[in-house]
Amino acid sequence: MAEEMKVNPQRAKQLAENLQSVVKTIQSSNKAGKNVRLIAVSKLKPATDILALHQPPTSHLHFGENYAQELSEKASLLPRSIRWHFIGALQTNKCKGLAEQIPNLWCVSSVDSAKKADALEKGRANVASSGETGEEKEKLRIMVQVNTSGEENKSGCEPNDTLELCKHIVEKCPDLKLQGLMTIGAIARSQATTAETENEDFMCLRETRDRVVENLGWKQEELELSMGMSGDYEGAIAMGSDEVRIGSTIFGERPARKDAKVVEDVGEAKG
Ligand SMILES: *Cc1c(COP(=O)(O)O)cnc(C)c1O
């Protein structure tokens, strides 16, 4: 539990500085002055790193994880006040468990099929019926991941299939809330992105959003855009992103997946 987790004060200070510097860059890129949510992407990083940023002075709320097992472990160790985002490649057989077992799962950002939406709906519906207080339960937020770059190895639904999937979530999944659209985009385009050059992936996501809201009869601001990572978030914000997902700029380079540890070896850390 949290009290057994020792946050290294030097590491905590470094992480807080990194986060604050990202927050500043977000503010200066954000000419339109809208609210941009920052997800600190903590995949493959130890739980103590997350705890450090969730504590004062930063008291950061939103954290993103890519692997179901790792997210489950971290969620069970860390405070319930954290708002978890599942942003990784989503397997249909993991959906129900995720929605059911992590009460503070705030958003699933990587839904690209009706099957996955249905499985999440099933899991969330179970949470609903088990609530004893009778207060209205919060819906699980969903982002539809769109493959804007047309790369075969990228997950995400085709831009042209996005409306249909969005409609499915709105009409058939009462325990889910369609929150927005998410893209990762092609690395080459990301590397070419500056505050001045418009990234084609971000343009595609924006156009897809415009078509979806028009068809649903929603306002533009009712469907968020999740775009922008460490390498390209300034340009993404300039193009209207509502949410950026930043990992390495905050936490540093990630270890290989096989070397990652949720709980660090205390003996080793003491030296
Ligand atoms: C890992 C990851 C990020 C963060 O990437 P960085 O380049 O480290 O900022 C953002 N979004 C998704 C979907 C990811 O998998």
Domains in the chain, number: 1
Question: Across residues 107-118, what is the average pLDDT?
Answer: 98
Is pLDDT of 57 > 90?
Answer: yes
**128 in any annotated domain:** yes
Question: Across residues 257-269, what is the average pLDDT?
Answer: 80
Query: Ligand 1 test: best mutation among 25, 86, 87, 205, most atoms within 8 Å of CB?
Result: 87
pLDDT at 271: 40
Question: Across residues 118-142, what is the average pLDDT?
Answer: 82
**19 in any annotated domain:** no
Residue 248 Cα, ligand 1 centroid: separation in angstroms? 8
In which band, very low, low, confident or very high, does the pLDDT at 270 lie, cut at 50, 70 and 90? very low
**162 in any annotated domain:** yes
pTM of the full structure: 0.94
Q: What is the pLDDT of residues 209-240, one digit of tens each?
A: 999 999 999 999 999 999 999 999 999 999 99
- Determine the atom of ligand 1 nearest the C-alpha atom of 231: 7
210 touches 224 (CB < 8 A): no
**132 in any annotated domain:** yes
DSSP per residue, 133-156: S-SPPPPEEEEEEB--S--TTS-S
Which residue's CA lies nearest to atom 6 of ligand 1?
247
**13 in any annotated domain:** no
**8 in any annotated domain:** no
CATH number of 97's domain: 3.20.20.10
In which band, very low, low, confident or very high, does the pLDDT at 268 lie, cut at 50, 70 and 90? low
Task: Establish whether residue 90 lines the binding site of ligand 1, counting it when its CB lies within 6 angstroms of any ligand atom.
Answer: no
Which residue's CA lies nearest to atom 11 of ligand 1?
245
**242 in any annotated domain:** yes
The boundaries of the domain holding residue 156 are: 91-251
**84 in any annotated domain:** no
Per-chain mean pLDDT for the chain: 92
